[in-house]
Amino acid sequence: MVEHLAQEGHDVVIVDSNDEVLERTQDILDVLCIRGNGANAQTLIDAGAKKADVIIAATASDETNMLCCLIAKRLGAKYSIARIRDPEYNESLSMLRHELDIDMAINPERATAIEISRLLRFPFATNVESFARGRVEVVAFRVQENDPIAGLPLRDLSRELRGIPQVLYALVERDGNVFIPYGDYCIRPGDRVHVAADAVTITNYFRFLGKDSVKIKNVMLLGGGRISYYLAKIITPMGIRVAMIEINPKKAEELSEALPDVNVIYGDGTDQELLDQEGLKQMDAFVTLCDRDEENLMTGLYAVRQGVPKVIVKNNRVAYADLISALGLDSVVSPRSITCANILRYVRARANSEGTKVEKLHRLVGGKAEALEFVARANDPYIGVPLKDLHMRKDTLVAVIVRNRQVIVPFGNDHIETGDTVIIIACESGIGDLNEVIRK
């Protein structure tokens, strides 16, 4: 989080009680570090909370985070962000935010569970992001040899493949490189392609490609942490049968009581014999949610070898991202990355009080690209001008325009009107204003 904020030009102060953390941070980042308790008023004063634009409280304690935000706002901080993770606070979150003057509450585990539930909806997808209140989706998938789009230039798809639903090919990842494809780009097997359209068109598109044959009915979750709890609460009402393996006997018992519709199994989920006994080969999806990324990686690879159609791996280590992809594990979720993207969106929006600010932000392809949502303002210079007559920032693309609930995949003659939701794809980070992307 600090690394990205510093890269985007913010002056950052870190408060932590651990000397080793502070020393390591100062060695690699140009930020000010202060040792102390973030819930102590004097420590916050020393850190400059009185003049801070944003205070981000992200300790392991929800209560400390809430108290830190309250004190910082009383001292004069403009905005506050608190990490609040405990399910017990989830139902009363709106009241807590109001009473404690918290501007944004972020729950990494719940946000991760929502992202996993989207991947289970599209089992063939490696990533799914939604925009414009769910009306628009950006879906990433790996192109296979037998896919009808393989070997064809984008400009020829409609002519060669009669009836193919019209989506925008927003981003392509090939051999570790990420770029925006144009009409002469020829799709190859192995390419990881991001397509954007409204939810109905996206569904019809993948049905046309023949990728809708696998339906998720049985899911096995490795680990009984908060992500597993939130995920089970989301997917069991969808008619999906869930088996959850937890190594801690007390925790397994508590989960069994809290989730009566879930088959909670006490045991070591990294034990291959146990996985086989509990029917791993019969599962439609396997989701690894252990605390240790190495265990998630190894058990995920075992599930792939056993032929499980959909394997989703939790990984917080950025250094592992390319390795995991090379091993054939395409669906990777990172609570840290999801949290970082949410906080960056909020900070960019507050930093850009005058322009057309970011409404939503998703980091794509391990942070190599971003998808951003804006709402067009009246009197901005691009309003009413055909896109072909506007200058676009290099390596950016207007992916989708939403106008009066109608989703438009734009071409050169289309234009942006006041109040439109505009979704931008960019092969860079740091964009905080739509006027930075489009100009006359």
State pLDDT tens for residues 78-111.
999 999 988 888 778 888 888 888 999 999 999 9
pLDDT at 266: 95
The arithmetic mean of pLDDT across residues 128-147, rounded, is 87
Query: Residue 237: what pLDDT?
Result: 92
Looking at residues 116-134, what average pLDDT do you find?
85
Q: Is the pLDDT of residue 322 over 70?
A: no
Q: Which two tokens stand for residue 81?
A: 């962000």
Q: Which residues neighbour 265 within 8 Å (Cβ) at sequence distance 6 or greater?
A: 243, 244, 245, 246, 252, 274, 278
Model pTM score: 0.78
Stretch 211-226: mean pLDDT: 88
Question: For residue 401, what are its two tokens?
Answer: 């325009």
What would the mean pLDDT of 178-197 be, rounded to a whole number?
A: 91
**240/226 Cα distance (integer angstroms):** 19
pLDDT on residue 347: 85
The answer to whether 188 touches 143, Cβ cutoff 8 Å, is yes
Computed over every residue of the chain, the mean pLDDT equals 89
For a pLDDT cut of 70, what percent of the chain falls above it? 97
Mean pLDDT of 122-128: 84
> Listing from the earlier edge strand, what are the strands of the sheet with 331-333?
263-266, 241-246, 218-222, 285-288, 310-314, 331-333
Has residue 233 got a pLDDT over 90?
Answer: yes
Binning pLDDT at 50, 70 and 90, where does residue 118 land?
Answer: confident
Residue 230 predicted with pLDDT over 70: yes
More confident call, 221 vs 293: 221
The C-alpha atoms of residue 236 and residue 262 are separated, in whole angstroms, by: 8
| Strands of 125-131's sheet in order across | 125-131, 136-142, 192-198, 168-174, 177-179
Query: Is the pLDDT assigned to residue 354 strictly greater than 70?
Result: no
What pLDDT, on the 0 to 100 scale, is given for residue 255? 95
Question: What tokens appear for 28 in the block?
Answer: 């690699």
Q: Mind listing the pLDDT tens digit for each residue in 255-300?
A: 999 999 999 999 998 899 999 999 999 999 999 999 888 899 999 9
- On the question of pLDDT at 167 being above 70, the answer is yes
Q: What is the pLDDT of residue 418?
A: 93
- Give the pLDDT of residue 243: 96
Arithmetic mean of pLDDT, 143-147: 91
Whole-angstrom Cα distance, residue 63 to residue 49? 19
Q: What is the per-residue pLDDT across 373-396, written as a single tens digit (0 to 9) for each? A: 899 988 889 999 999 999 999 899
Query: Would you say residue 22 has pLDDT above 70?
Result: yes
What pLDDT shows up at residue 367? 75
Average pLDDT over residues 431-435: 86
Dihedral sign for Cα 280, 286, 292, 294, please.
positive
All structural domains of the chain, each given as residue ranges with its CATH number in brackets, are: 2-107 (3.40.50.720), 112-208 (3.30.70.1450), 219-333 (3.40.50.720), 348-439 (3.30.70.1450)
